[in-house]
Amino acid sequence: MSLIEIERRNAVAVIRFNNPPKGYMNAAMVGELDAAVDGLLADESVRVLVFTGALKGVFIEHYDVSELLAMSAKLRAKGATFSLDRPSPESAFHRILTRLESAPKPVIAAINGTAMGGGFEFCMACDIRLAERGPYWLGQPEINIGILAGAGGTQRLVRLVGEARALELSLTGRTVSPDEAARLGMVHAAVDGPVLEHTMTMAERLAAQPPRAVAHIKRLIRSATETPLSQGLANERTLFMDLAVSDEGHRLMGEFVAGTRTIRD
């Protein structure tokens, strides 16, 4: 059975994580996900990627701790040590998250249940996060088993909720409900009913937007916190002009001036 299921809904690709009974992320799922992401990002007919869980009440429970324990035992047997002057290399999972962040297409997490540890790290790499209300838990509880969030959890969480709140959540290992996650800014909204229905409404809207403009906007905003303001403004001016002279930009502005298109949503 495939651990990654892909459904096409016109220009939207819905990707489901399916690893019963617990819904863990593991190396086999990462391998399938790697190939799926490559294919979908290369497919020009796919405008938006939506990720969700196939199991009821589970997005990705967390990464399979038994695999992490086996890796630990293997490295300890070799006497491996680690220090910040010798950075650990990226894994396939790290590279997938980076690709989704930098992809020219919008990526949405339709969080249909619990997403902890690596599961919530995956959500944070997505552009939009909608969480279904229910008895579900979101966050980074790794400290409770003696480790830390190793796939962006300490870095991306700070960018979402600020340093003080990220410290509190990460040091206590406290997970939160969908509603609290929305209040804290960990997700964009907590919604009633099947989250995929709400997500598809947004995904279809994004899929209808001019793809070149979508790609430019995502690139500018995703890089804003790491780019000096002067350089970011220069990049913005340049990409603005690129869209202004493009066929689609010229046509859509013309429709607005002619009174056949509104600038409001």
| Pairs from 219-222 (Cβ < 8 Å, separation ≥ 24) | 219/102, 219/104, 222/101, 222/102
At residue 60, what are phi and psi to the nearest 5 degrees?
Answer: -135, 115
Catalytic residue among 67, 121, 236, 255: 121
What is the rounded CA–CA span in Å between residue 155 and residue 160? Answer: 9
Q: Give 76-119 as a DSSP string.
A: HHTT----TTSPPPP-HHHHHHHHHHH-SS-EEEEE-EEEETHH
The burial of 21, by beta-carbon neighbours within 10 Å (0-12 exposed, 13-18 middle, 19 or more buried), is given as exposed
Q: Mark whether 90 is an active-site residue.
A: no
- Helices of type H across the chain: 27-42, 65-77, 92-102, 118-125, 153-161, 163-172, 178-184, 195-208, 211-223, 229-244, 247-257
Q: Mark whether 121 is an active-site residue.
A: yes
Catalytic residue among 142, 168, 204, 248: 142
What is the rounded CA–CA span in Å between residue 58 and residue 22? Answer: 8
Among 36, 30, 35, smallest CA distance to 14 is for: 36
Catalytic residues: 121, 142
